[in-house]
């Protein structure tokens, strides 16, 4: 379980997270959505310790994690833009991350899932965008971590890889993992997600199931619901 209490973060005058309180329960798939600049990535990054909050607390299973680093061996994180040291190849990267985390990893299953064998020994600098994202996913998901955070996992993936990824994530949930993701692909949310967190101007606008959100906004499509919310907020 993840708890955010009274979380604040500003970048200059821009108050990105505003007294944010949030709980994400375990063994679920949660999507954090919201317009650009609503604080999704900041929220995720503060959980990882990449962004340091101005005030507030973040607890993981009841333990405060601010300023610590060890807790990250329970988190798998997929960054939004994947860029790696260009002189290394995929295999070396996999080895490196394994070595750094010092925990067992199962890369082979993912390599087959994404059909990545041929790319494994190419220098990262020569990989295409989609293949880089595959490598990115590989590095993230190859460990057996209870918490998985994915920032735009669908970026640049071909349809087959996308389908495979969805299936893989569903399986992970069945194994009892907690997954938090951000995405702009609505089908992704509709097919996978148990819980939606809608961020607007650094505050939680909505936190609940997809069905409820659709009901609330009186529509049957997520896209329309989101558009509605945004229009309402602009009219205020």
Partner 1 sequence: MFKIFKYSLYDMIRNRWLFYYMGFFLILTSALLILSNDFTQVLITLTNIILALTPLIGIIFGVIYYYNTKEFIELLLTQPVDRKAVFSGVYFGLAVSLSLSLASGVGIPLILFGVLNSSVLVNYIVLIVLSIVLSIVFSLFSFIISIKFDNKVKGFGIAICLWLFFALLYDGIFLIILMLFKAYPLDNLSIVLSMLNPIGLARVLIIIQLDISAMMGYSGAVIKNFFGSSLGSMLITLVLVLWITIPYYYMIRLSKAKDF
If DSSP codes are grouped into helix, strand and coil, which group holds residue 42?
helix
Q: Which tokens go with 44?
A: 């995720």
Residue ranges in 180-209 that form contacts with partner 1 under rule CB under 8 A: none
Residue ranges in 40-99 that form contacts with partner 1 under rule CB under 8 A: 45, 48-52, 68-73, 75, 77, 79, 81-88, 96-97, 99
For the bound state, the minimum distance from the C-beta of residue 155 to partner 1, rounded and expressed in Å, comes to 14
Handedness of CA 125, 127, 131, 134 (dihedral sign): negative
Q: By C-beta, is 50 or 163 nearer to partner 1?
A: 50
Q: Which of 59, 101, 170, 203 is in the footprint of partner 1 by CB under 8 A?
A: 101
Q: How many CB atoms lie within 10 A of CB 67?
A: 7
* Closest C-alpha to 35, from 208, 192, 182, 163: 182
For the bound state, the minimum distance from the C-beta of residue 101 to partner 1, rounded and expressed in Å, comes to 6
**Residue 224 in the binding site for partner 1 (CB under 8 A):** no
Q: How many CB atoms lie within 10 A of CB 109?
A: 12
CB 6, CB 21: distance < 8 Å:
yes
Residues found near partner 1 in the complex (CB under 8 A): 11, 45, 48-52, 68-73, 75, 77, 79, 81-88, 96-97, 99-101, 139
């Amino acid at each position: 379980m993840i708890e955010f209490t009274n979380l604040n973060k500003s970048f200059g005058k821009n108050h990105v997270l505003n007294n944010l309180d949030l709980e994400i329960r375990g063994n679920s798939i949660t999507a954090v959505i919201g317009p650009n600049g609503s604080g999704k990535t900041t929220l995720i990054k503060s959980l990882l310790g990449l962004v340091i909050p101005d005030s507030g607390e973040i607890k993981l299973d009841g333990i405060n994690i601010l300023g610590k680093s060890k807790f990250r061996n329970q988190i798998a994180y997929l960054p939004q833009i994947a860029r790696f040291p260009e002189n290394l190849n995929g295999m070396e990267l996999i080895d490196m991350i394994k070595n750094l985390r010092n925990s067992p990893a199962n890369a082979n299953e993912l390599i087959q899932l994404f059909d990545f064998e041929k790319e494994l020994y190419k220098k990262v600098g020569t990989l295409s965008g989609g293949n880089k994202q595959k490598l990115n996913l590989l590095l993230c998901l190859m460990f057996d971590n209870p918490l998985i955070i994915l920032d735009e996992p669908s970026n640049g993936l071909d349809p087959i890889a996308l389908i495979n990824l969805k299936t893989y994530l569903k399986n992970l949930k069945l194994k009892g993992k907690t997954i938090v993701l951000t995405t702009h692909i609505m089908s992704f949310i509709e097919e996978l997600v148990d819980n939606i967190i809608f961020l607007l101007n650094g505050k939680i606008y909505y936190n609940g199931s997809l069905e409820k959100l659709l009901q609330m906004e009186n529509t049957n499509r997520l896209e329309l619901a989101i558009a509605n919310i945004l229009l309402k907020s602009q009219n205020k």
